Structure 1
Amino acid sequence: MADTSRRQKQAAPVSQDRSSTPVGADRVLLILRELAANPGGIDLDDLTKTVGSPKPTVHRALAVLRRAGFARLEAHGRYMLGDEFLRLAFSHYEARPDHLHMQPVLETLAARYNETAHYAVLDDRTIVYRAKVDPSAGAVRLSSTIGGRNPAHSTAVGKLLLSYTLPDDDAVAEWVGGAPLTARTGRTKTTAAELAEELALVRTRGFAIEDEENEPGVACLAVPVFLGSPTRPTGAVSISALTYRTPVSRLVDEVDEIRTVVADRGAPTAT
């Protein structure tokens, strides 16, 4: 019994150390995170200090990552993420549907404003909702559905995307044609001249709004999303708000913050 007690007492400090020191797969993942956080590379000494493990242990983990192509050693002795890791990451990212890329953005915006957030794309004369996040339970929710459509000319998303598709007044007139556009409410812009003026404003501002033009009591602000080309949006994100609760003027005042959320793909901002 005495021998067992001594062994238990001797083992206790090791157990305590392991609780605060990464081991096995945890260590490897921590090293990967550090490599990602240092795009210019990090040397073994600094990596060892950051990870909090002995240098030989970190070196062995790096050797495993290098064999897999997930890390590489530069001539100046600094470790970086390997090309195979980057290839897998970008391949996975590019294969994901747009709406999965934008889901964190919509969740962040819906939580921040307690309003509905959409991601939508342009399809000829209509917009199609690819993703939607409603506000938390207890809030009034909109009737829009994923896969549902609305006229492009009466929605903020539609006007935002049309401003890229229709570059000038002549293009707008040709798109509208000879007949007036459908009036969804008394505020809907239904002529080519009205729409052309609106799209010119959108191009200047870099965002679009609609104030009860598609649905009474609902206002909306939309900003572009660039998942591929840096100059041609793949779609747009919008916040659709009940006007009695969130006036469109508030969304306009906070458009820079909204753009930041979209650009950061919904990552929470530091506080």
Structure 2
Amino acid sequence: MSGERQYTASDKTLIVLQEAIKYERFSEIVTATGFAKATVHRILKSLVDFGFISISENGDYFAGPASLQLAGEAFRNIDISQIAAPHLSKLSFTLGYTAHVGALNQFEAIYIAKQSGATPYSIPSGVGQSMHLHSTAIGKCLLSGFTSEELSGYFSSVELVAKTPNTIVDPDALRRELDEVRSRGYSLDDEENVPGIRCIGAPIFDHSGRISHGISMTSLALENSVEEVCQFAPVIVEAAQAISTDLGASSVSRRG
């Protein structure tokens, strides 16, 4: 950033706070803000006094108790369905199909938001409905965020039921499928949960960089081949990234 004159005093305080949470060293904060050293020093002192920033014995800056308290209150009040709603509507409008957002609930997923598409048929799903993880696009997104140990716990606790002839019921095969999800950034349900239904999904990341939810689009197998469904991937991933950003995830912190 450059040119202090375009910022008000309040603007400068917020900018310094933002950069002080990201960077530890005074020199890094000065560089990131583009403000004069004296300006940054004065604002940092005020932020430290009010507890928004703390300083270590060796002079490193980090988030203070006031910032952490505010963050905690903000995260407690997050309504993912409300945050996802405009992105879900945009996705459904763009592709014309029904879109869902799902969350992990122990060893299953539940729909927490739905936006119907413009198709003449309706998808028999609803908010609050549960689904298997291993046979759905959203479920695979959520499973792709599991560690190896967490996956082992999942396999020992849940029977991989064959919902259709296409359902992956072998743990090793499912592990390979999840590797593919992590590699390409999206998941597929190729008539694995309901005959005649294909879905494509993408993971949603929270502020810590962990996969917290999944978003998916649903269409009839008669309408779209697997190859055609995969062509929707960039739009699905873009919607997932937009929701992730609104949840506080950064591109650096996302993993999957």
Question: Would you call these one fold, judging by a TM-score over 0.5?
Answer: yes
Cα distance in 1 for residues equivalent to 2:4 and 2:229: 42
- SS where residue 238 of structure 1 aligns? strand
Runs of at least 5 residues in structure 1 that lack an aligned partner in the other structure: 1-38, 48-61, 77-82
Deviation at 1:119, TM superposition (A): 0.6
Letter aligned with residue 140 of structure 2: K
Given that 1:129 and 1:146 are in contact with CA atoms closer than 8 Å, whether structure 2 keeps it comes out as: yes
- The equivalent residue for 1:250 is 228
Q: Does 1:207 align with 2:189?
A: no
Deviation at 1:262, TM superposition (A): 2.8
**Counterpart pick for 1:183 among 141, 156, 162:** 162
Normalising by structure 1, we get a TM-score of: 0.61
Deviation at 1:146, TM superposition (A): 0.3
Deviation at 1:213, TM superposition (A): 0.4
- The equivalent residue for 2:132 is 151
**Counterpart pick for 2:203 among 220, 224, 236:** 224
Cα distance change, pair 110–180 in 1 and its aligned pair in 2 (3 A):
same
Cα distance change, pair 115–164 in 1 and its aligned pair in 2 (3 A):
same
Deviation at 1:131, TM superposition (A): 0.5
Given that 2:206 and 2:244 are in contact with CA atoms closer than 8 Å, whether structure 1 keeps it comes out as: no
- SS where residue 134 of structure 2 aligns? helix
Larger Rg: 1
- The equivalent residue for 1:100 is 82
Q: How does 1:227-238 map to 2 (within 5 A)?
A: 227-230=206-209, 232-238=210-216
Taking every aligned residue pair, what percent have the same amino acid on both sides?
25
More helix by share: 1
Cα distance change, pair 251–229 in 1 and its aligned pair in 2 (3 A):
farther
- The equivalent residue for 2:106 is 124
Runs of at least 5 residues in structure 2 that lack an aligned partner in the other structure: 16-34, 37-46, 48-66, 246-256
Cα distance in 1 for residues equivalent to 2:180 and 2:14: 51
Given that 1:106 and 1:132 are in contact with CA atoms closer than 8 Å, whether structure 2 keeps it comes out as: yes
- SS where residue 234 of structure 1 aligns? strand
Cα distance change, pair 188–226 in 1 and its aligned pair in 2 (3 A):
same
Cα distance change, pair 140–164 in 1 and its aligned pair in 2 (3 A):
same
Given that 2:107 and 2:158 are in contact with CA atoms closer than 8 Å, whether structure 1 keeps it comes out as: no
Given that 1:228 and 1:234 are in contact with CA atoms closer than 8 Å, whether structure 2 keeps it comes out as: no
Number of matched pairs:
200
- The equivalent residue for 1:262 is 240
Residues 83-131 of structure 1, C-alpha deviations (whole Å, 9 max, x = no match): 9xxx9x9899642311111111110111111111111011122111111
Letter aligned with residue 114 of structure 2: K
Q: Does 1:141 align with 2:122?
A: yes
Cα distance in 2 for residues equivalent to 1:41 and 1:241: 51
- The equivalent residue for 1:59 is none
Instruction: Give the root-mean-square deviation of aligned CA atoms.
Output: 3.8
Cα distance in 2 for residues equivalent to 1:183 and 1:73: 53
Deviation at 1:253, TM superposition (A): 2.5
Residues 225-256 of structure 1, C-alpha deviations (whole Å, 9 max, x = no match): 123212x0121111112122233322323322
Letter aligned with residue 158 of structure 1: G
Letter aligned with residue 226 of structure 2: V
Deviation at 1:184, TM superposition (A): 1.1
Q: How does 1:6-85 map to 2 (within 5 A)?
A: 43=5
- SS where residue 153 of structure 1 aligns? coil
Letter aligned with residue 176 of structure 1: F
Cα distance change, pair 220–179 in 1 and its aligned pair in 2 (3 A):
closer
**Counterpart pick for 1:241 among 204, 214, 219:** 219
Letter aligned with residue 144 of structure 2: S
Cα distance in 1 for residues equivalent to 2:108 and 2:167: 15
- SS where residue 264 of structure 1 aligns? helix
